[in-house]
């Protein structure tokens, strides 16, 4: 039997490189609640509903934007910040077609021993030594809101850059979240809730920053009589932060605002009580998982998911230390379905968000082959990986800045360009309120 990688490109199920990458948007105003999990995505995943596919890819692209705009060059004095201002982010990343605008940038830090993936610049003049840009808030514009049937507020969280470091640094210790038996992974909660008066960009925690913006936006649109939804997305560590954010948002807004989370390659975040709490407060979670990806299998161990399906198993699990369980509905894709990517073991490739989005775009059903009318640009897969087969003829790791960001200055030297004031991250102009402080204390 001929290997997939040996097929001539003209025989592969791909429409070609001279066709549009997107299809015409349809009005989903009558279906948006169903597409965002009101019925737990029943009868929408097998086969995959075309409208749901487009929504999943859209939110995945919002999460990917948090990677593509992140300066993680440790030699840059701006390492740990965003390359772009929030008003130009979607223009620079060619995402204006989605019809959203960014309203807020979010910064995070950590109060445990700083793992390598949270380190910032090596430069002594770094913009920040302890804070990192972790995501943003965006909201649908008027025309897009009309198509969607509501004003959609999005929070997109960035994950880690290197999955091997992510797995190495993840902690297994559970820590309480609020009252009761609800517990979550200590490191995730630390990134979400840590603040420091000595930090320029994290005098408020990521939790305080994002919730202040959400309260402002929800209040503003509700006062205008608009229907509002909150969709939180993230990849890898960002998927964990998305669940913590969804928990806090649903608790804050009660039943006034539907809250859903669409995550990619997300790990287990908390215990059984955390899962039950999310279900009780109405958070709808769709977890997209690539079958061979290792990150969704941690922390904890795989037998736990099977154990808790019956009452005796649940009682045993409650007394174990590693009582991590997944939440929500799993939508599993499999890299083996795609004829365009390499199938040999590749930890980075299996975990890549661009690979995930490629697999979602090509998914029809468990029994179907990769769909022939998939539109997403194949070149995006190799943006930061070497996952495409050679026949596609796209170079590996092709996305990079000209001359690695260095410019030729007036003195004839190659230097890192100085950013104008408007391009620098802006710390919050106001101090933490009593309400914010109380909120952050509840998170710890």
- List active site positions: 236, 293, 351
Residue 102: which residues within 8 A CB-CB, separation 6 or more? 86, 87, 89, 90, 136, 137, 138
Strand, helix or coil for residue 34: helix
Three-state SS string across 393-444, please?
Answer: CCCCCCCCCHHHHCEECCCCCEECCCCCHHHCCCCCCCCCCHHHHHHHHHHC
Q: How far apart are CA 378 and CA 354, in angstroms?
A: 9
Q: State the Cα–Cα distance between residues 94 and 21, nearest whole angstrom.
A: 12
Q: Could you say which DSSP state residue 97 is in?
A: G
- What would the two tokens of residue 354 be? 């661009």
Residues 309, 313: Cα–Cα separation, whole Å: 7
Q: What are residue 7's DSSP bridge partners? A: none
**Residue 6, SS3 per DSSP:** helix
Q: How many CA atoms lie within 13 A of 85 on its CB side?
A: 8
Terminal CA-CA length for the chain: 57
Residue-wise DSSP of 231-257: EEEEETHHHHHHHHHHHHHHHHHTTSS
User: Which residues, other chains included, contact 406 with Cβ-Cβ below 8 Å and sequence gap of 6+?
Assistant: 414, 415, 416, 417
Taking only Cα atoms into account, the Rg of the chain, rounded to an integer number of angstroms, comes to 22
Task: For residue 38, report the phi and psi dihedrals to the nearest 5 degrees.
Answer: -60, -30
Contact 135, 104 (CB under 8 A): no
């Amino acid at each position: 039997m001929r290997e997939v990688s040996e097929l001539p490109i003209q025989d592969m199920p791909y429409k070609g490189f001279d066709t549009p990458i997107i299809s015409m948007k349809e009005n989903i105003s009558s279906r948006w609640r169903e597409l965002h999990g009101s019925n737990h995505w029943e009868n929408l995943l097998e086969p995959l509903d075309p409208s749901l596919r487009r929504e999943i890819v859209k939110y995945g692209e919002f999460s990917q934007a948090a990677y593509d705009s992140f300066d993680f060059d440790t030699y840059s004095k701006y390492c740990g910040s965003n390359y772009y201002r929030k008003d130009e982010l979607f223009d620079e990343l060619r995402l204006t077609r989605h019809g959203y605008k960014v309203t807020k940038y979010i910064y995070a830090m950590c109060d445990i021993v700083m793992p390598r993936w949270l380190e910032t610049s090596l430069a002594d003049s770094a913009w920040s030594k302890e804070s990192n840009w972790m995501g943003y808030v965006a909201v649908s514009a008027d025309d897009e809101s009309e198509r969607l049937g509501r004003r959609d507020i999005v929070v997109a969280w960035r994950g880690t850059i290197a999955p091997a470091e992510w797995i190495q640094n993840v902690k297994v210790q559970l820590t309480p979240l609020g009252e009761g038996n609800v517990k979550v992974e200590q490191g995730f909660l630390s990134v979400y809730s840590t603040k420091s008066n000595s930090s320029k960009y994290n005098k408020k925690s990521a939790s305080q920053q994002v919730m202040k913006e959400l309260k402002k936006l929800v209040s503003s649109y509700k006062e205008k009589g608009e229907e509002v939804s909150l969709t939180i997305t993230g990849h890898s560590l960002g998927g964990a932060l998305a669940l913590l954010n969804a928990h806090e948002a649903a608790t804050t807004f009660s039943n006034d605002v539907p809250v859903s989370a669409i995550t990619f390659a997300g790990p287990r975040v908390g215990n059984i009580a955390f899962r039950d709490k999310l279900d009780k407060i109405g958070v709808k979670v769709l977890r997209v998982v690539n079958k061979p990806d290792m990150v969704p299998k941690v922390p904890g161990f795989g037998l736990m998911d099977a154990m808790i399906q019956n009452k005796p198993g649940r009682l045993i699990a409650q007394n174990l230390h590693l009582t991590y369980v997944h939440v929500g509905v799993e939508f599993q894709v499999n890299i083996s379905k795609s004829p365009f990517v390499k199938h040999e073991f590749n930890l980075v490739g299996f975990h890549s968000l661009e690979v995930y989005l490629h697999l979602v775009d090509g998914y029809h059903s468990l029994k179907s082959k990769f769909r022939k009318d998939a539109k997403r640009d194949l070149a995006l897969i190799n943006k930061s990986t070497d996952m495409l087969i050679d026949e596609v003829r796209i170079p590996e790791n092709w996305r990079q800045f000209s001359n690695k960001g260095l410019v030729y200055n007036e003195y004839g030297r190659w230097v890192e360009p100085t950013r104008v004031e408007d391009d620098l991250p802006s710390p919050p102009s106001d101090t933490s309120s009593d309400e914010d402080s109380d909120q952050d204390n509840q998170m710890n």
